[in-house]
Amino acid sequence: MEYGGKMYYFSIVGDELKFLNNSEIRLKVLVDLLNGPLKIRDIDRRSLLSYSSISSNIHKLCDEGYVEKIHNSFQLTNLGLIYITVLLDFHDMISAISDFSDFWLDHDISSLSVDDLNKLSSLEGSELIRCSSMDIYRTHKEFKRLFKNSKHLKVIFPYLHPEYPKLIRRLILKGIKVELIVSKDILDGFIKDIGNDVVKKGISEGNFSIKYLNEDIKIALAISNEFVSVGLFKLDGTYDQNRLLLSDKEKAIIWGLNLFRSYDEHALSLILD
Amino acid sequence: MIFEEDFTKKYDDFITVRFLLASKMRPSLLLLLADSKRDLNDFREELDKPSASILHGLKELERISLIKKDFKNYSLSTKGILCSASLEKLFQDLYIFQINRDFWQNHSIDSIPADSFRKSYLLRDSVFVESDEHNLSKAFNKYLDLIGGCGDMKIILPIFLEEHLEIILENLENGDNLLLITNEDVFSSLKNSKYYEDLVDFSKKGQVSIRKADQDLKVFLTVCDDFMSLSLFYKDGLYDNSCFILNEHKDGIEWANILLDKCLENSIKML
């Protein structure tokens, strides 16, 4: 097996993970023990699991070095702590994928780097805003509502919607700090719709910047002090206006800021006459 | 390890996690498809498993839309790409702990935040430098070799050793910088040592910053431009000078910087 290849790491840890995941009880016991040492009857009381199942599995966990018995209680070993911590991070990543299955499925995720994917657990607990036949502009309205309440804003716009430049214009005039990245195709239109005078004013006063990328942008991203929102393109190349992933959690906002930064590093600054 | 949340209520459902990990076939298929699309013959050759097992695994993955079938070829859906990437991270996260279980089992990990374990895929290219019966100071000497002329240094130092300070001062003489985070005891020893005056002089030139952590330090971490090294204490509180983790890659250095920054946040300036 090729050292360092995908299958190599799996070959090293696969058996241990199979052992832990063969039983839901083992995983639940490890999670329970994260809160500190417990007796079997304490775990029994806290869960719907049977005493004998807990006892049998906790002893198997002891045999494999994940749990140790101290007097009459059981506690996690270092490896138990590490394995369940990493597994819960994996759980969060899988939740972020499964809970928003239709957000990811058949959508273009080429805009996300390996690093972004590795931190996908940060999006766990987000909310997927979907349009419905009773509210076909729900994502758009939500996007606008969030903008209005922001104290500062970083946005990647891959497309031009007539209302967004107007919204940005109002924010700039209110003195709110706005940083935009757009694709080159829509740069001129965006500036024209915001208004050249307002763009110049914002840049000179330091509360507005607009950068552009020559290549296609395949993600819509907005981050403020209070939220992060993500929109994706479908695999047929059209932007999915019906779905918006939204989170107000700090870890998700940090995830969004890192993603914005990676685009910002490659984006070109606008030079105004 | 430092924990920051109550987990019991949050994690009461492992259905999808177990679907992906309780079998070795399903992760294998997802990992192989991450490289390129494949047909049944490709899987048979690579996995050396009977067709029936492979087909069963593929059907299960197709059922929850992780893979797609196009005539004879199988490929990942977008959701499958994300799951495969998550699996890859999980396996890389755990690798460093699995290849040297005894090291992690026998040492204190109290000073390492839980978040650092969630990013341990960054340590996947690390090596364990260990002393042996032929050379009891192999790890110690290797560390001195590494730190000699290593450039700017950022160190979490929970032990006081003159040999370390001699080399650190040589590096400072050469114009390198030092950020040192230490504890009360080591800082007192430093103050009473012959090296302190020199450190003060370098500090005045802006080359040295010494800080004191507000927690018990149980890691000896060195971060330079080209490597990071990490030693731990035994669970009985004694420092283990016979082994350290060495990583000479960008990712490993990033992991060390994250740990160092965390420690830096909870420290106060002494010099």
User: DSSP per residue over B245-262, as a string?
Assistant: EEE-SHHHHHHHHHHHHH
pLDDT given at position B2: 47
| Least reliable range by pLDDT among A259-273, B208-222, B255-269 | A259-273
| Residue from A18, A45, A91, A219 to probe the interface with B (highest B Cβ count within 10 Å) | A91
- Which residue spans of chain B are classified as CATH 1.10.10.10? 15-90
Kindly identify which residue of chain B lies nearest to residue A108, measuring between CA atoms.
B78
DSSP SS3 for B151 = coil
Task: Give dist(CA A217, CA A58) in Å, integer.
Answer: 50
- Name the minimum distance, in Å, from the CA of B138 to any CA of chain A: 26
DSSP annotation string for A136-194: TTHHHHHHHHHHHT-SEEEEEESS--THHHHHHHHHHHTT-EEEEEEEHHHHHHHHHHH
Q: Are B113 and A91 in contact (CB under 8 A)?
A: no
Residue A147 has pLDDT above 90, yes or no: no
- Which residue spans of chain B are classified as CATH 3.30.870.10? 101-269
Domain residue ranges in chain A:
6-90, 100-269
Average pLDDT score over residue span A15-19: 97
Residue A3 has pLDDT above 90, yes or no: no
Residue A222 has pLDDT above 90, yes or no: yes
Tokens of B262: 């965390």
ipTM above 0.90, yes or no: yes
Task: Give dist(CA A97, CA B17) in Å, integer.
Answer: 11
- Name the minimum distance, in Å, from the CA of A87 to any CA of chain B: 7
Mean pLDDT of chain B: 93
Per-residue pLDDT of A34-50, as tens digits, reads 989 999 999 888 777 88
Selecting from 3.40.50.720, 1.10.10.10, 1.10.357.10, 3.50.30.10, what CATH number does the domain A6-90 have? 1.10.10.10
> At a CB cut-off of 8 Å and minimum separation 6, what does B191 contact?
none
Residue B12 has pLDDT above 60, yes or no: yes
| Least reliable range by pLDDT among A10-14, A235-239, B248-252 | A235-239
- Name the minimum distance, in Å, from the CA of A34 to any CA of chain B: 7
Interface size A-B, in CB pairs within 8 Å, comes to 161
What is the CATH number that goes with domain B15-90?
A: 1.10.10.10
Kindly identify which residue of chain A lies nearest to residue B23, measuring between CA atoms.
A18
Helix/strand/coil (H, E, C) string of B164-215? HHHHHHHHHHCCCCEEEEECHHHHHHHHCCCCHHHHHHHHHCCCEEEEEECC
pLDDT given at position A179: 95
Contacts of A24 in chain B (CB under 8 A): 14, 18
Q: Are A118 and A145 in contact (CB under 8 A)?
A: no
Task: Give dist(CA B254, CA A77) in Å, integer.
Answer: 27
| Least reliable range by pLDDT among A161-175, B66-80, B106-120, B205-219 | A161-175
pLDDT given at position A273: 64
Quickly count: other Cβ atoms within 10 Å of residue A72's Cβ: 9
Task: Give dist(CA B90, CA B84) in Å, integer.
Answer: 10
pLDDT given at position B180: 96
Residue B209 has pLDDT above 90, yes or no: yes
Average pLDDT score over residue span A202-214: 92
pLDDT given at position A123: 93
- Name the minimum distance, in Å, from the CA of B132 to any CA of chain A: 24
Using a 10 angstrom Cβ sphere, with 0-12 exposed, 13-18 middle and 19 or more buried, the burial of residue A161 is middle
Q: State whether residue B109 sits within 8 Å of chain A by CB.
A: yes
Check B82 against A85: CB less than 8 A apart. no
Which of A13, A94, A106 minimises the CB distance to B98?
A: A13
CATH 3.30.870.10 fits A100-269, yes or no: yes
Selecting from 3.30.870.10, 3.90.480.10, 1.10.357.10, 3.40.50.150, what CATH number does the domain B101-269 have? 3.30.870.10
pLDDT given at position A1: 67
Average pLDDT score over residue span B24-53: 95
pLDDT-based confidence at A4, cuts 50/70/90?
low
Q: State whether residue B99 sits within 8 Å of chain A by CB.
A: yes
pLDDT given at position B114: 93
